[in-house]
């Protein structure tokens, strides 16, 4: 599949955009006219730069408001087109995008339109270039891709074809099956964009909220399947207007974009395999017959098999001063399993929940900017503060999973290892969290824990034996239930695609919860069997460090690891007896809980006494509590009763308010 | 008019919100349930805090999903209500907001609904409290305020009334005139919110995009006029769900909110005066007869008369190092009018355009945080860099205008003055720009210029005579055409209301223009005769300094002052001959201009030669050019031909791209 991207997707100057596209590995680009008009590069400069970078210049766009006008206006439009065709010749480009008329169309007559399009095609032919006509979803008279295609067929000129844009088609909920019947020679160009399903006017939706494939809710694999079946072999090019991407680091966004096409290519191949029969009965031009392995003219590359992780292998917290974390974990009932034999890291376990405390300095270099004056967090973050730094996932083949991540352009993270130590395959998530792929074992154990427990370091905690300890009593069945990570605002969509494509985590409908510093957008990502639950939180802006170059974010928003146990009341009681610093839940909360759920008075008293939170829905019940925060990390213990599948979202505002209040009290008293 | 605000409008904890409301001068508040549930304050604490702060607790809200359910669900709902009524007694609150059922309603029967509401009213009566029933715009069966009111009338219970919320009524475009016929004793509460007119689902619109009165597009004065005519005398309370306000400094937002009600009160009184006759024929309960001065039970306070400024009196630029500004102004043709006799400021004039260069240190204390690592601006901002610091407006009575601003809670700015110097009344705009009210004179001169020209300072520039010099030749008719100011993202809506309410500037439909770092939202504010044109730009986030405490922003986004002249080509030619550093316009721009407008070749050559930009519409033509940037300030010279009323918006992306490229070249080479 030939990959492309429109320059309007990206931030920066035309030169910066082109360079980033080349680095990200695109085959070609669409030149958005404004990017050229505002550039000091001459058309000849652009042509040379593209050649030097190995980029083809696939589409000049957009040309607007041409057809369905009276003869006077048409004359001016042809003059304007002539200037652009001459410009294209200087650029060495052969295809121009023509959008259906939105602004100046006054005559609704397909015959007239065909005649006007024919004149434009003739003029294009004189210049040796082609015109790809696209129905905008809000075109005045032409807003349906089949209508645009009928006009192209009626004109029947070699220099006029159609451009199919997934946004304009799927935003209107149009069936994409008829594409299969299109003559592939008349499909001059294909643009793809995904989008969240929003209820708003389609123009605003299109101009601000498009995202890259895999970051929204459109069925793009099916769209592409039909395009491939039609016999189209040209570029598949991203045209994504997104307010955030236009503000983000151009090179990172280009990589995110490229990842989305690599993923879409795989998904399209899968769709074709899963849907062997043409959807429409008589698909002229499409291959006939049925066969899952039938080949189409467009070659779709494959990726290493996706590895849906079975669960979390470990969570790693990095901290300069580890005392606070050690205290919390031991009070929660975690056993200290010793230091690593070669690295300055500790292992703590409860059942199959493993927490690694990493005392090595952070790899990223922006620690010096942490602790800036963020309201509500002043003095709370420093280079030595604790932060979630890595997650290990159990996969059946770490090598296959790592190869896949690599092909998806996930930046590799080297993990120093010595002889006889397990080598983790690792890569960096968009928020800088390191993701490691581990060999899971069916019984939930991990071989690498044997690397811990060497003597010589001594050790804190209540075990301190230097031997692996699976935890005892209430914690024996403990596992990591979910991990909650704050995402930088520029990289939220990128993170969704990253976890979707690399680890087969499926985004669920998102929730918004109130906090004293604004709404928090909470995006749950799940494996199908719920073995991995990852929650991506888009924190309010003031809780994020402001200006940043797109790499090495430090977050002031609090993140956490949640552990599931079988008996939360027993776990909480034991933790209380060990002196755990629970997040203190307001009395008002329990009164409201009683008003809502009419709980048994004894049970309510237990909840109140232990600072437990509670939720209930049709599927089951959820009990949980939070610890105090160390650095920017806290822990949660949960118990799921019945088939409860949520995270206690109604309780999230309580947590946010208490944490905020606590930070503010510290700030005021300091 | 009794003023109120719902705690959900604001950021912070319940205590912080209440304190901010008291400081801003609200009479009372609505307690949003979640703010209480998440608070460590007991209901008794809240009651005492409110009393100490002089706030009444006007409404407990919301109670959801009560009516139109089967008997089992109703029982649980009554139990839930009973708990809340007991809570309200502890709070000392007497009114609860009941929203029409959105989620659990299953039976669409007004008779059943009336019976269920009657039972709730009875229970409320037992507790000595009242219920205000509100039709949500997306209520399942009840989503029309007249429907809610009919149900209240049908129940006819002293403890059941209705709550009118302007958002739920105006978002559905319902006529508000019928309110006049409501029995005022049945209107228990009135909530007001404004909103921009957006085409999106009403729930999302309501939950995220509400703004304070005067910041949106609803006709709230008319709504309030009908409410007043109905005879309502209770609180008028803000309920504004806004993603940005929830993230902003609580005290500033509370003042912004209070300003909106003060302004709405005045606008409502004006509407009543302008619309003396009841709109509906038989308004039972409303005053009868016709009379512009008729008094209504609700007292509406008046404000000092609004002073629409006649024009800009001056623009002030603050700079540590003034050489760059002096060079630009003299090359543009400005005359140096000397230093002020007591202050370290210079005056430069061209015709009636006056620019003050202030060499005094900046008043606000965040200069140390300027120059942070913002991509594209690194090293470009320092405490000594130039920035637009103040604007003077010509008003017929500075004292009246200042008194009005004072009553609208604009923070006063003291202007040090000595004997025989003009005393300016000043206040601070939301972006920290200082606004001064000046005595304009019909001939466009300003008396205070006589304070300049004292000997002893010496002086740069080409005049240097120490005497006022109105400019000569091409610049004799020069005036300040418009000023373009960057706005912090948290205070954009606040700025719109500020200029609307204090200076009668009318917001126009906003534009969005592309820049290499994202879309720039551009909001023009105008006086009716265009004597003042102010452009508020909401810059991309990365061009704003991130975390901030809501005061003392430094901006890295470039701002400018534009001067209008009669003959731009002559002005540009003279400036070029003086060696002006023009913003260099790419050749591609002129080719595109020719393609679009088919300009006369000689004229096009002149544009190209002088780096002039051009726009044309049905009303006229616009020529303009930009200077290079000094600090974060540049200048623009414009010529308006015919009735052209815009700002060359199609050219704005060119300016942004060239400025960005220039900054990047400087960064790369440094």
Q: Which of A349-353, A383-387, B441-445, B623-627 has the lowest mean pLDDT?
A: A383-387
Q: Which of A242-251, A362-371, B194-203 has the lowest mean pLDDT?
A: A362-371
B422 vs A325, residue with greater confidence? A325
Task: Please tell me the predicted confidence (pLDDT) of residue A457.
Answer: 42
Q: Which of B516, B587, B616 to mutate to test the interface with A (most CBs of A within 10 A)?
A: B516
Q: Which of B38, B370, B598 to mutate to test the interface with A (most CBs of A within 10 A)?
A: B38
Has residue B466 got a pLDDT over 50?
no
Nearest-by-CA chain A residue for B517: A247
Give the pLDDT confidence of A485-512 residue by residue, as tens digits.
Answer: 999 888 999 999 999 999 999 999 989 9
Nearest-by-CA chain B residue for A653: B38
- Rounded-to-integer distance, Cα B467 and Cα B461, Å: 13
Instruction: Work out the average pLDDT over B106-112.
Output: 97
Has residue A370 got a pLDDT over 80?
no
Has residue B373 got a pLDDT over 50?
no
Inspect the interface and report whether the beta carbons of B547 and A660 lie closer than 8 Å. no
- Rounded-to-integer distance, Cα A471 and Cα A463, Å: 9
Would you give the end-to-end CA distance of chain A in angstroms?
Answer: 59
Give the pLDDT confidence of B259-308 residue by residue, as tens digits.
Answer: 999 999 999 999 999 998 654 444 444 455 444 445 678 999 989 998 79
- Rounded-to-integer distance, Cα A613 and Cα A592, Å: 12
Give the pLDDT confidence of B514-569 residue by residue, as tens digits.
Answer: 999 999 999 999 999 999 999 999 988 766 543 332 333 344 678 999 999 999 99
Radius of gyration of chain B (CA): 29
- Rounded-to-integer distance, Cα B104 and Cα B95, Å: 23
**Residue B341: pLDDT band by 50, 70, 90 thresholds?**
confident
Residues 6 or more apart whose CB falls under 8 angstroms from that of B435 comprise B390, B391, B393, B405, B410, B413, B426, B427, B428, B429, B502, B503
Distance (Å) from the alpha carbon of A277 to chain B's nearest alpha carbon: 38
Pseudo-torsion of CA B155, B161, B163, B164, nearest 10°?
Answer: 80
A280, A248 Cβ separation under 8 angstroms: no
DSSP H or E run through B564: strand B559-564
Task: Please tell me the predicted confidence (pLDDT) of residue A41.
Answer: 97
A382 vs A141, residue with greater confidence? A141
Has residue A366 got a pLDDT over 90?
no
Closest to A208 measured CA to CA, from A243, A239, A240, A238 = A243
Instruction: Tell me which chain A residues have a C-beta less than 8 angstroms from the C-beta of B39.
Output: 586, 588, 657
Task: Please tell me the predicted confidence (pLDDT) of residue B361.
Answer: 63
Distance (Å) from the alpha carbon of B666 to chain A's nearest alpha carbon: 15
- Rounded-to-integer distance, Cα B164 and Cα B184, Å: 12
Nearest CB to B588 within list A16, A37, A201: A37
DSSP H or E run through B639: strand B633-642
Instruction: Tell me which chain B residues have a C-beta less than 8 angstroms from the C-beta of A369.
Output: 373
Nearest-by-CA chain B residue for A205: B200
Instruction: Tell me which chain A residues have a C-beta less than 8 angstroms from the C-beta of B246.
Output: 514, 517-519, 540
Distance (Å) from the alpha carbon of A332 to chain B's nearest alpha carbon: 25
Instruction: Tell me which chain A residues have a C-beta less than 8 angstroms from the C-beta of B11.
Output: 516-518
The percentage of chain A sitting over the pLDDT mark of 70, rounded to a whole number, equals 87
Distance (Å) from the alpha carbon of A13 to chain B's nearest alpha carbon: 6
**Residue B460: pLDDT band by 50, 70, 90 thresholds?**
very low
Nearest-by-CA chain B residue for A546: B546
Distance (Å) from the alpha carbon of A548 to chain B's nearest alpha carbon: 7
Residues 6 or more apart whose CB falls under 8 angstroms from that of B604 comprise B590, B593, B594
Nearest CB to A518 within list B204, B247, B654: B247
Inspect the interface and report whether the beta carbons of A586 and B657 lie closer than 8 Å. no
Has residue B110 got a pLDDT over 70?
yes
Inspect the interface and report whether the beta carbons of B39 and A657 lie closer than 8 Å. yes
Nearest-by-CA chain A residue for B78: A595
Has residue A345 got a pLDDT over 80?
yes
Chain pair A-B, CB pairs under 8 angstroms: 179
Task: Please tell me the predicted confidence (pLDDT) of residue B417.
Answer: 66
Task: Please tell me the predicted confidence (pLDDT) of residue A480.
Answer: 97
- Rounded-to-integer distance, Cα A101 and Cα A112, Å: 13
Tokens of B158: 């002293």
Distance (Å) from the alpha carbon of B19 to chain A's nearest alpha carbon: 15
Please compute, for residue B661, the number of CA atoms within 13 A of its CA located in the half-sphere on the CB side.
20
Give the pLDDT confidence of B7-66 residue by residue, as tens digits.
Answer: 999 999 999 999 999 999 999 999 999 999 999 999 999 999 999 999 999 999 999 999
Nearest CB to B37 within list A11, A246, A654: A654
**Residue B593: pLDDT band by 50, 70, 90 thresholds?**
very high
Nearest CB to A516 within list B11, B76, B587: B11
Closest to A350 measured CA to CA, from A554, A562, A514 = A562
How many other C-beta atoms are found inside a 10 Å radius of the C-beta of residue B170? 23
Instruction: Work out the average pLDDT over A518-534.
Output: 95
Has residue A465 got a pLDDT over 50?
no
Give the pLDDT confidence of A616-657 residue by residue, as tens digits.
Answer: 999 999 999 999 999 889 999 999 999 999 999 999 999 999
Inspect the interface and report whether the beta carbons of A547 and B373 lie closer than 8 Å. yes
Closest to A377 measured CA to CA, from A654, A663, A665 = A663
Cis peptide before A123 (omega within 30 of 0): no
Nearest-by-CA chain A residue for B45: A588
Instruction: Tell me which chain B residues have a C-beta less than 8 angstroms from the C-beta of A36.
Output: 588
Q: Exposed/middle/buried for B3, CB within 10 Å: 0-12, 13-18, 19+?
A: buried
**Residue A461: pLDDT band by 50, 70, 90 thresholds?**
very low
Inspect the interface and report whether the beta carbons of A13 and B373 lie closer than 8 Å. no
Task: Please tell me the predicted confidence (pLDDT) of residue B270.
Answer: 95
Q: Which residue has the tokens 């949640």?
A: A562
Inspect the interface and report whether the beta carbons of A13 and B664 lie closer than 8 Å. yes
The percentage of chain B sitting over the pLDDT mark of 70, rounded to a whole number, equals 87
Instruction: Tell me which chain A residues have a C-beta less than 8 angstroms from the C-beta of B598.
Output: 76, 79
- Rounded-to-integer distance, Cα A126 and Cα B67, Å: 71
Q: Which residue has the tokens 């044109």?
A: B533
Inspect the interface and report whether the beta carbons of A540 and B247 lie closer than 8 Å. yes
The percentage of chain A sitting over the pLDDT mark of 90, rounded to a whole number, equals 75
CA quadruple A564, A565, A566, A571: dihedral sign: negative
Inspect the interface and report whether the beta carbons of B373 and A517 lie closer than 8 Å. no
Task: Please tell me the predicted confidence (pLDDT) of residue B454.
Answer: 53
A208, A241 Cβ separation under 8 angstroms: yes
Distance (Å) from the alpha carbon of B616 to chain A's nearest alpha carbon: 15
Listing DSSP states for A52-84 in one string gives: HHT-EEEEEEEE-S-SS--HHHHHHHHHHHHHH
pTM for the complete prediction? 0.90
Q: B100 vs A170, A365, B79, B140, B141, CA distance in Å?
A: 35, 53, 18, 8, 8
Inspect the interface and report whether the beta carbons of A586 and B547 lie closer than 8 Å. no
Has residue A460 got a pLDDT over 50?
no
DSSP H or E run through A383: none
- Rounded-to-integer distance, Cα B438 and Cα B428, Å: 15
At A655 the three-state DSSP class reads helix
- Rounded-to-integer distance, Cα A239 and Cα A212, Å: 9
- Rounded-to-integer distance, Cα B230 and Cα B181, Å: 6
A654, A585 Cβ separation under 8 angstroms: yes
| SS3 sequence of A286-332 | CCCCCCCCCCCCCCCCCCCCCCCCCEEEEEEEECCCCHHHHHHHHHH
Nearest-by-CA chain B residue for A651: B38
Has residue B345 got a pLDDT over 60?
yes
Task: Please tell me the predicted confidence (pLDDT) of residue A228.
Answer: 96
- How many distinct helices (H) and strands (E) make up chain B? 17, 24
Task: Please tell me the predicted confidence (pLDDT) of residue B543.
Answer: 62
Instruction: Tell me which chain A residues have a C-beta less than 8 angstroms from the C-beta of B243.
Output: 518-519
Inspect the interface and report whether the beta carbons of B243 and A592 lie closer than 8 Å. no
Inspect the interface and report whether the beta carbons of A249 and B595 lie closer than 8 Å. no
Task: Please tell me the predicted confidence (pLDDT) of residue B185.
Answer: 96
Nearest CB to A247 within list B83, B517, B549: B517
Q: Which of B9, B11, B13, B37 to mutate to test the interface with A (most CBs of A within 10 A)?
A: B37
Summary mean pLDDT of chain B: 88
How many other C-beta atoms are found inside a 10 Å radius of the C-beta of residue B376? 20
| SS3 sequence of A235-276 | EEEECCCECCHHHCCHHHHHHHHHHHHHHHHHHHHHHHHHCC
Listing DSSP states for B168-229 in one string gives: HHHTTT---GGGGGS-GGGEEEEEE-B-----B-HHHHHHHB-B-TTSSS--HHHHHHHHHH
Task: Please tell me the predicted confidence (pLDDT) of residue A414.
Answer: 74
Tokens of A333: 């009932």
Please compute, for residue B1, the number of CA atoms within 13 A of its CA located in the half-sphere on the CB side.
27
DSSP H or E run through A388: strand A387-395
Q: Which of A91-100, A167-176, B75-84, B383-392 has the lowest mean pLDDT?
A: B383-392
Inspect the interface and report whether the beta carbons of A545 and B541 lie closer than 8 Å. no
Please compute, for residue A30, the number of CA atoms within 13 A of its CA located in the half-sphere on the CB side.
32
Residues 6 or more apart whose CB falls under 8 angstroms from that of B188 comprise B95, B130, B131, B132, B161, B162, B163, B234
Inspect the interface and report whether the beta carbons of A546 and B547 lie closer than 8 Å. yes
DSSP strand pairing (B506-507 vs B518-526): antiparallel
Phi and psi at residue A485, to the nearest 5°: -120, 135
Cis peptide before B243 (omega within 30 of 0): no
DSSP state of A500: H
């Amino acid at each position: 599949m030939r990959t492309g991207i429109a320059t309007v997707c990206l931030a920066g100057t035309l030169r910066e955009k082109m360079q980033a596209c080349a680095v990200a590995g695109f085959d070609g680009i669409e030149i958005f006219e404004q990017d050229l008009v505002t550039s000091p590069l001459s058309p000849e400069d652009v042509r040379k730069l593209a050649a030097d970078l190995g980029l083809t210049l696939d589409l000049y766009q957009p040309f607007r408001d041409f057809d369905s006008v009276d003869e006077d206006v048409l004359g001016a439009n042809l003059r304007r087109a002539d200037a652009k065709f001459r410009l294209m010749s200087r650029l060495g480009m052969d295809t121009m995008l023509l959008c259906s008329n939105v602004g100046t169309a006054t005559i609704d007559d397909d015959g007239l339109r065909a005649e006007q399009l024919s004149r434009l095609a003739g003029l294009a032919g004189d210049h040796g270039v082609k015109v790809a006509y696209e129905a905008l979803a809000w075109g005045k008279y032409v807003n349906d891709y089949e209508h645009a295609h009928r006009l192209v067929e009626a004109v029947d000129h070699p220099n006029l074809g159609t451009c199919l844009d997934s946004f304009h088609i799927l935003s209107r909920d149009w069936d994409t099956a008829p594409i299969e019947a299109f003559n592939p020679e008349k499909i001059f160009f294909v643009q793809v964009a995904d989008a969240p399903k929003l209820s708003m006017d389609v123009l605003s939706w299109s101009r601000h909220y498009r995202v890259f494939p895999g970051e929204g809710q459109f069925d793009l694999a099916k769209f592409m399947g039909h395009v491939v079946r039609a016999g189209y072999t040209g570029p598949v090019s991203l045209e994504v207007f997104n307010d955030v991407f236009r503000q983000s680091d151009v090179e990172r966004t280009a990589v995110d974009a490229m990842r989305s096409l690599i993923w879409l290519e795989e998904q399209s191949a899968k769709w074709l395999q899963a849907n062997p029969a043409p959807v429409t009965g008589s698909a002229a031009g499409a291959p006939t017959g049925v066969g899952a392995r039938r080949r189409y003219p467009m070659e779709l590359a494959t990726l290493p098999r996706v590895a849906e992780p079975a669960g979390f292998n470990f969570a790693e917290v990095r901290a300069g001063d580890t005392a606070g974390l050690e205290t919390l974990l031991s009070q929660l009932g975690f056993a200290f399993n010793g230091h690593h034999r070669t690295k300055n890291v500790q292992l703590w376990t409860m059942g199959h929940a493993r927490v690694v405390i990493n005392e090595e300095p952070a790899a990223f270099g922006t620690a010096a900017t942490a602790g800036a004056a963020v309201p509500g967090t002043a003095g709370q973050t420093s280079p030595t503060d604790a932060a979630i730094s890595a997650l290990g996932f159990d996969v059946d083949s770490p090598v296959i999973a790592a190869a896949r991540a690599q092909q998806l352009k996930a930046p590799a993270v080297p993990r120093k290892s010595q002889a006889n130590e397990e080598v983790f395959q690792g890569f960096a998530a968009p928020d800088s969290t390191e993701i490691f792929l581990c060999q899971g074992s069916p019984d939930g154990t991990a071989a690498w824990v044997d690397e811990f427990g060497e003597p010589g370091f001594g050790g804190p905690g209540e075990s301190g034996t230097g031997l692996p300890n699976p935890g005892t009593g209430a914690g024996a069945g403990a596992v990591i239930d979910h991990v909650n990570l704050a995402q930088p605002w520029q990289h939220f969509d990128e993170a969704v695609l990253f976890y979707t494509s690399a680890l087969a985590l499926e985004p669920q409908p998102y929730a918004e919860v109130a906090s004293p510093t604004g709404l928090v957008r909470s995006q749950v990502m799940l494996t199908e069997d719920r073995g991995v639950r990852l929650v991506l939180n888009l924190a309010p802006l003031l809780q994020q460090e402001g200006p940043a170059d797109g790499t090495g974010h430090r977050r002031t928003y609090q993140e956490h690891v949640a552990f599931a146990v079988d008996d939360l009341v027993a776990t909480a009681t034991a933790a209380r007896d060990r002196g755990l610093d629970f997040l203190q839940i307001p009395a008002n909360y329990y009164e409201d809980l009683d008003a809502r759920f009419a709980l048994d008075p004894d049970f309510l008293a237990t909840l109140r006494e232990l600072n437990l939170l509670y939720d209930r829905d049709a599927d089951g019940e959820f009990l949980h509590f939070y610890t105090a925060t160390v650095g920017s990390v806290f822990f949660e213990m949960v118990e799921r009763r019945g088939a409860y599948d949520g995270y206690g979202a109604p309780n999230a505002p309580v947590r946010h308010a208490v944490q905020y209040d606590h930070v503010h009290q510290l700030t005021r008293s300091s």
